[in-house]
Structure formats: C-alpha cells, structure tokens
A and B are shown apart, each in its own frame.
Chain A
Amino acid sequence: MNLFIRKIRLFFSLYWIRMVIVFAIVLLIVLAIWGLMSLESFYRYITLATLPLQILMAGISASIFVFMYMSFFRGGLGKIESHKIKSGDVQVKWSDVIGVDEAKLEAMEVVELIKDRTRLRKIGGKILRGLLLVGPPGCGKTLLAKAIATEAGIPFLPMAASEFTEIFVGVGPLRVRRLFKTARQFAYGHGACIIFIDEIDAIGRQRTFSMFGGGGETNSTQNQLLVEMDGLKEKECNIIVLAATNAVEGVLDQALLRPGRFDRKVYINLPDLEGREKLFQYYLQKVKYDESINVARLARKSVYKSPADIENIVKEAALIATRYKKDVITYKEITEAIERIDMGIKHRRKMTEKEREMVACHEVGHLLVLYILHPTDDVFKASIIARRDALGAVHHHPREEWITSNKERLLANIKVALGGFVAEKIKFGTTSDGVSSDFKSAMLLAHNMVWRLGMGDEGFLGDYTVIPENQISDDVKANLNLQAQKIIQRCAKEIEDLLIKERDLLERFIKELLQKEELEYDEIEAIFKEYGKTHV
C-alpha cells in the first residue's frame, strides 16, 4: 500500500505539468461547448464551419513559433530531443551479453549488490555509488549497462555525455541536475534507479584551469556531476551511476575516479577465442546460414575482433549473400566480409605489366617471410588487387591472441615488413616507393625495441623515451639509433639469404599471383607443400 501511494505521488510529481495541460484543455473544450450552446444555431454553424480552419491556422502559427524559438534560442531543431530520457523498457538479458564473461561476472555481482542493499547495510557494507565500464570500442559496454538495468529490474536513465555539452553556458550543469532529479524521483517511486552516462570522457576529462577560462563549461558540468554523486551519499538515494568510456584511465579526472564516486571499475577486453566462437554462434543465429560453417575456424580467423566487429562481419556477409542471390550465408561470404572489413573493398587500378610484376614480387616477399619465419601469424591471403591505398596485400592473423610480443615476434614482424623490399631488390635489382609504409613500421618496431624495450645488442637497457631529449647525450642517441639500424640491416640480410635460397619458390608465387591475382590460404599452403616447406 505504501509503495502504491509512493507510486501515485511519483506519478503526480513527474507528470503534473501534463496533467495541468490536460485539465486546461478539457476545461477549454467544456467552455467552448458551453459558449457554442449559447449561440443561435446560425452563428453556431458559422463558428463550427470555420473551426477546422482556425485549428489549422493555430497549428501553423504554433509551428512557426516553435521553429523560430528553436532556431533563435535553442540552437536549432536538432536540439529538441536532447533531453529525451527513456526508462523501464530496456530488455537486455545476461544471455545477450556474450564474449565478455569476466566483465559479466563483475556486473552480476553489482546487480546482486543493488538488489541486496538491505543485507549489505546490515553488515555495515558500503553501498556502491558508481561503476565505470572501461574498454575498447565495440566491446559491449552499453549492452552490459542495459543488462545490469534489466536484471536489477529498476528504471534506467541513459544519456550520452555529449548531450550535456551545449553552446550555452550553464546548460550542461543544468542538465546534470535535472538528470539526477529525475533519477531521485524514480528511485523514490521504484526503490532504485540506474543512471547510465555513455562516453563519459566527453565531460570527465581532466579539468583544465586556465586564466583565460578555457574549458570552463566542461569543468562546470563535471563539477556538477561530482557534486551530485556526493549528494547521493548524503541523501541516501538508491541511485547507481554507470558510466562507459574507451578512454584510458589517465584521461579521466582523478576526482571522478576516486572511491565514493566510481567505486568500481569493470574492464571489458576484446573477446578471446571462446568468446568469439560464442559471438559468431549468437549472431549467426539471427540470420540464415549454412550449418556446415566451421565457427571455430571463424573465431580463429577473427583474432582481435570486438563483438561489434563480429556483428558487423555477419551483417556484411548477409549483404554479400544477398548480392550473390544466395538463400543462406556460407563460409565464403563471411570470409569475404572479413576481408572487406580488414582490407577494404577491391577496386581495379590500371597498372602496367612491369608494375604488376613489381607489386606481385613485393607481396610474395612478404608472403614467403611470413610463412617461413613468423612464429605466431598465419597467412590467409595474398593479393595484387588494389584495396584502399595499397596496390596489393598479404592478409595475415595471429593464430591466437598475443597480449605481449617477445623479441622473436618483433623481429619476425620487422622481417615480414622488409620482405617486399628485399624481394624487389633480388628480382629486379632495384626497389620501388611501395616500401615506404613497410619501412615506417619496421623502423618504428626497431626503434621501440632499442629505445624502449632494451632489445638492442649493445646492452642499453631501459626506456629512453621517458627521459627528456635534452638530457640524453648525442652519443647515446647515436648509439641507440645505430642499434636500431643494425637490427634492420641484420633482418634484411637474413631474409635476403632466405629469398635467394628460395628463389624458385619466389618465382613460382610471382607467376601464380600474376595469373590469379589472389591466392587463398589453401592454394598458398599447397604450393609450399609442393616445395616441401612447412610453417614454423
């Protein structure tokens, strides 16, 4: 009964303006009827006959007024929806959150805490105020927040942090106050409420204190958020603030991260092999697909892909299948979708035969080094069809997620990058400008190995990039750079020896690539086996 009265009071407090408007409209209608009844029938008919026109004119006048008001005072019609808040109808279950199991476990625990606040209080536990979901884009932070709201069974007020920011001074803090006011009303009526602020880095970046007042509005908005979150503690409101960001911790203001505001941080990482397999199964269930598709193989092929990427792959595959007029999605469409997303759409560029040979040779250089020397990556495709800015590409992926890279892996990456250059040099005695991006990545790797990772030969240990440049002697700098160059030279020599030794294989792949333009994994594997080569 008490809850019922609370809900009625909540209804009145939330919708009193609407109720007043409805009452006013009803009153006006009654008065209009009364007025009409008092008229003689002829004048009544005239009034009724002109009523639609009057309503139309009133509508047009009101529209013009709203348009003018929104244009001149509110920054355009695009701002009408900026305050829209949904609640209650979020329907995302735990089962819909896939591939982020550890984060899900933490979220479940949070839900239990929200549900069992009384028990928590009894044992003197502190109530959770804020939960920060941190992770790369597309990993399901928003989805997880929705699942928390659904499973906790309490109202959910989502808002993007960018909605707080406005050209007008004071609008951001005002919106924060309004959001928390609404949340308190919901918490009063329903027992609890969740506020979800997406992309919180838009207002949560470290505050700037400039004598010119720059960033004042963002600071004010963030200050208001901090005050409101502190206020939750004072007023004992059952409100939990969820926030999501893909910004690293250093980007957000420390005041926001301290205990008492966002007490807990849930890190959501890219899904592992098992997670990706489940994600493929989940999204494939939503479309018609060939049952014989090897989902495990797809999962292996999509290392470092986020749940959003996987969803996109299935969507793209459906589009490709539609284009080919197929009833179901097959493995081929999914592979093509992955390639399209990773490598871009093919576009035919007219090249001279000499150029084609040069490109083919370059790509085969990468391909041979990758297959023979790389310890972690598999090659999936080699192509001399232009995509994006590249005239050719060798598509490869690690066999499994590698969170770290050892020296051998880094060296292998440098060798693969240099493979194109060395192959061109061996076959044509000259090289092209197609090696620039390869050199850039090779140089960066070698530089980092020496300057930051202590992987040079001369025994320089430590991260020299943290030292201000003017505090490092020129000798040390020259020595470090020399070390990096030595690594590159050594790698280049090693692969030169390799490619000279495998010249027949090199020529064979160039010929195949010039003929077919693209070589798939199976074809590549077959040719290597023909020459008695196996993957390291």
Chain B
Amino acid sequence: MACALCIAALSGCAPTYPKDKIDEAIVDLCKREYNLDVDTKIKGKTIGVYLPVDNLFDVVFNLDQKASKKINDVILGVSRVTLSTDAKFDFYVVVAQDPKVPEVEIVYIRYVHDVKRFLLGDISRGEYAKKALIAIKTPPQAERERILRELFSKLNIDDADEMIKEYLEGEDKAYGIGEISYWNKKFFINDITLAEFAAKQIEERIKFEFRENKDLNKWYEFKSVEGKFIKAPSGNRFVFNVSMANRVEPLYLDSGIELGSSRKRQLVFQGLVTIAGNVLWAYKFDDFERVDIAIPEQRLKISRDTLWKARKGKVKIGELL
C-alpha cells in the first residue's frame, strides 16, 4: 500500500492532454502516430474530427478496407485524447469524407462515458457497438444546395452560385444531431445532448430490432422510424414514430400460434418499450415525463415510472393499450 501511495504521488495526476491544447493534441496525435491529417472543431462538450480519406468507398459502394482502418485509427486517437484530458467532453464525432466525392460521408458519434465503461469492462463488446451512432449519408447542407440549384435552374437564374452562396452563408452550425456534417470546407456540428443522443440510439436500435427479429419481419414491412426528444414546459418527452406496413402472410408465430392484429401490435409495443427503457435506464437519464411511441393506427404514451416497471416486466403492455 505504501508503494502504491508512493507511486501515485510521484507519478503525478496531471492530464496528458490539457484542455487548452486539445485541438492540437488530436491533430498531432493523428499525424504522429497514424500519419493522418485531420481537422477538429469543438462545440460545447462535443468535439468533432474531420478526416478526409481518398477512395472512401469502392466501386460497389462498400467501405474501403484501408479507409476503414484510417477511420478506426482516428476513432482510437480521439478516444484516447478525450479520456486523458481535463476538458470535460461528453461526445465525440468523427466525419470521414472523400474530398473528391463529398456528397457521401460517414458520421460516427460516441458518448465518451460509454468508452470508459467499455475499457473498464462494464459493458460487452456487442453492447458497445450498439451504443455508437454510425451513419452513411449525404450532407444535409449538400442536399439543400442541390434543391436550391434545381430551383434556380428551373427559374433560369444565371447567377445562381452567387445567390446560393449568399443564401447558405451563415453560421456553420448543425441544427440537431442529424445535421452534423462536413460540406464546402465547413464543419457543421452542434453540442450534442444526451437526450438527443439517446433518442437517436433508440431509433437505431428499433431499426435493428425490425431487421433482426424474425417475428416482426414476418408480420410487418418496416419503413422508417423517427425519434426525437422534445423539451416542453408541460414536461419533456421522447417521441418515436414508427412507419411500417402489414404483410399479408404469414400470420403465425414460429410456434404455430395464430395471432390477431391487436396481439401483434402488443408484441411490437412490448419490444419498443423495452428498447427505450433499457437505453434510458443505462444512461440513468430521467429528465423526461413520458415516452410516446406511435405505430400506424395506434399510439402508446407511457410515463417514466411505468417505463421503468415495464422494462422489468412488472407492467403488462396490454393493460396500457
């Protein structure tokens, strides 16, 4: 014990990456250890890293292996920096883009506390993977620009570039987690909150559930899900709108039991409530009054306390519908 104290005292407790040099630290680390040039931007408790990668996707639109390795290197680097700094970062974002094809990008978002828990063995590798938000998309700003160009083209306006530039000029800020992007040498980023991160994560898990759950796949054709956190004076709430369509056949479970449509919906709600409850419980997030889950023709409003009970199976969903 004396040795431990001695070592602790002598080795010091200073952070490796001081908060006033955090940008430099990430750029230096990526350059020094991985020979990668990156750009960074900080917004509140969120740090963003832009990684330009040539040939991000191959001809069949699969992620290139070399590019994948570079992205992983940057993720590892930014994880190390955010863990060993006195700057209190909650989230980090890595945006990888092929400079020649900026219309497609990969956005990777992580909650820093999840990284700590994973390294301390508090969560499994599988769960850790599910806690990351990964999106391959067109930058929303690019989409807006395309729409404007089409509009100006239809209107036969010649100096469209000038007008578009003027129109889109302004603060390079993202309005929500879905707008985080890199476009026209601007890094659009916002200070991510745990609520919106959780909402997005639940959204992703619902997609995963519909994809992987055989029964849900048999019954419904999944179309989309939209999740958001709404702050309101009457009470904060999460809202999830699931769009799906009934499949005609089959109407039986694997066990052969025939199911009516109400029973099927009940099972769908059961799954969605469990996902939402588990995610919010895992983050100990309780700054909300209720969770609204809507599927075609039916909506479930469930209070926070009931949600906690439901995730443990102490409340039957059928009683709530």
Contacts and interface: CB of A to CB of B under 8 A. Distances in A.
A37 B7 CA distance: 10
Contacts of A45: 13
A42 to B, nearest CB: 4
Contacts of A37: 11-12
Given A29-B3, A48-B4, A51-B4, A42 B10 contact: no
A33 B7 contact: yes
17 contacts: A25-B3, A29-B3, A29-B6, A32-B7, A33-B10, A40-B80, A40-B83, A41-B13, A42-B16, A42-B116, A42-B119, A45-B13, A48-B7, A51-B7, A52-B1, A55-B3, A55-B4
A37 B11 CA distance: 6
Contacts of B17: 40-41
A51 B8 CA distance: 9
B15 interface: yes
Contacts of A36: 7, 11
A42 B80 CA distance: 8
Given A46-B120, A55-B1, A41 B7 contact: no
B4 A52 contact: yes
A6 interface: no
A44 interface: yes
A41 B6 contact: no
A133 B10 CA distance: 58
Nearest to A54: B4
A49 to B, nearest CB: 9
Contacts of B1: 52, 55
Contacts of B80: 40, 42
B253 to A, nearest CB: 47
B14 interface: yes
B274 interface: no
Nearest to B79: A42
A194 B118 CA distance: 66
B14 A41 contact: yes
A40 B16 contact: yes
Given A33-B11, A46-B120, A41 B4 contact: no
Contacts of B12: 37
A37 B13 CA distance: 9
Contacts of B7: 29, 32-33, 36, 48, 51
Contacts of A33: 7, 10-11
B14 to A, nearest CB: 7
Contacts of B119: 42, 46
Interface residues of B, number: 21
Given A33-B10, A33-B11, A46-B119, A41 B16 contact: yes
Contact of A42 (B6, B14, B84): B84
Contacts, number: 48
Given A40-B80, A48-B4, A51-B7, 4 more contacts: A40-B16, A40-B83, A41-B84, A55-B4
Interface in A42-63: 42-46, 48, 51-52, 55
A42 B4 contact: no
A40 B11 contact: no
B73 to A, nearest CB: 16
Contacts of B15: 41
A25 B12 CA distance: 20
A52 B12 CA distance: 17
A44 to B, nearest CB: 7
Nearest to B9: A33
A465 B10 CA distance: 84
Nearest 9 CB-CB pairings of A with B? A42-B83, A40-B84, A36-B11, A41-B84, A42-B84, A51-B4, A40-B16, A41-B16, A41-B15
A41 B16 CA distance: 5
- Residue among B6, B8, B11, B15 with the most chain A CB within 10 A? B11
Interface string A218-258: 00000000000000000000000000000000000000000
A31 to B, nearest CB: 10
A321 B84 CA distance: 72
B92 to A, nearest CB: 14
- Residue among A25, A41, A43, A48 with the most chain B CB within 10 A? A41
Nearest to A51: B4
Contacts of A52: 1, 4
B44 to A, nearest CB: 21
Contacts of B83: 40, 42
A179 B148 CA distance: 100
A173 B119 CA distance: 58
Contacts of A43: 84
Contacts of A51: 4, 7-8
A63 to B, nearest CB: 15
A48 B6 CA distance: 11
Contacts of B116: 42
Contacts of A48: 4, 7-8, 11
Contacts of B85: 41
Interface in B46-101: 80, 83-85
A135 B286 CA distance: 88
A476 B240 CA distance: 127
Interface string A1-33: 000000000000000000000000100010011
A55 B7 CA distance: 13
A33 B11 CA distance: 6
A109 to B, nearest CB: 52
A59 to B, nearest CB: 9
Interface string B120-142: 10000000000000000000000
A25 B3 CA distance: 9
B2 to A, nearest CB: 9
Contacts of A25: 3
Contacts of A32: 3, 7
A296 B146 CA distance: 125
A46 B12 CA distance: 14
A45 B11 CA distance: 10
